[in-house]
Amino acid sequence: MGPLPRTLELFYDVLSPYSWLAFEVLCRYKNIWNVSLQLRPTLIAGIMKDSGNQPPALLPRKALYMKNDVRLLGQHLQVPIHLPKDFFFVIFEKGSLTAMRFLTVVKLEHPELLEKVSRELWMRVWSRAAEKAGMSTGRARELLERVSTPQVKNQLKETTDAACRYGAFGLPVTVAHLDDETYMLFGSDRMELLAHLLGEKWLGPVPPAATARL
């Protein structure tokens, strides 16, 4: 009998393009490395407020860099990521509260669909996300009706607070639980370091054994 899988927690928000990049790489490796991947829908606005950080889009130079950076990383990691034309409206006006509450409901009621629904939200087909992930329209409507319930609000807040306790100041955050040590890694570009901490092989962003999902 081999060693027990190490627990990895991925805290993410669909408003964060870098969260999507980390999400896809970890999903590719979850059946290659000896790990148990736990997806944790989180509210990035809550983390920004708690840490005193600001979104990079607020600074013109960072915003310009991020647009090019996300495009290049998407190509490198083979994730079909394209920032919407109304990106700033999405960040500052629309936000992600409803989306992350919806994912919280999915995690509570249909955890087996959380990966697929999260991916579809990132693919920017929000109105079809649940249906494409294999959930009936009626069931999706029932879950949407629950996004404002105290249970869902509290669960999302608890998850966001947990990320803050680990020291998060943005997203994505991957938390690796290794024996008596806990490591918090920020960003989508720490996968080689994560492999080193796990004692696993890094096979590149698209490992040969990964099944194409996108």
DSSP structure string for 101-119:
HHHHHHHHH-GGGHHHHHH
Banded model confidence at residue 13, pLDDT cuts 50, 70, 90: very high
Q: What is the pLDDT of residue 91?
A: 60
Helix (H) or strand (E) holding 178: strand 173-178
pTM (whole model) above 0.95: no
Handedness of CA 207, 208, 213, 214 (dihedral sign): positive
Token digits of residue 29: 């490796």
16 catalytic, yes or no? Answer: yes
pLDDT digits (tens, 9 = 90+) for 104-139: 999 999 999 999 999 988 886 433 455 566 677 788
Confidence band, pLDDT 50/70/90 cuts, at residue 54:
confident
By the 8 A CB rule, do 47 and 170 touch? yes
- Looking at residue 27, its pLDDT comes to 97
Domain 6-159+167-198 in CATH: superfamily? Glutaredoxin (3.40.30.10)
Per-residue confidence (pLDDT) for residue 144, from 0 to 100: 82
Contact 178, 9 (CB under 8 A): no
Q: What is the pLDDT of residue 10?
A: 98
Over residues 182-210, the pLDDT tens digits come to 999 999 999 999 999 999 999 999 999 76
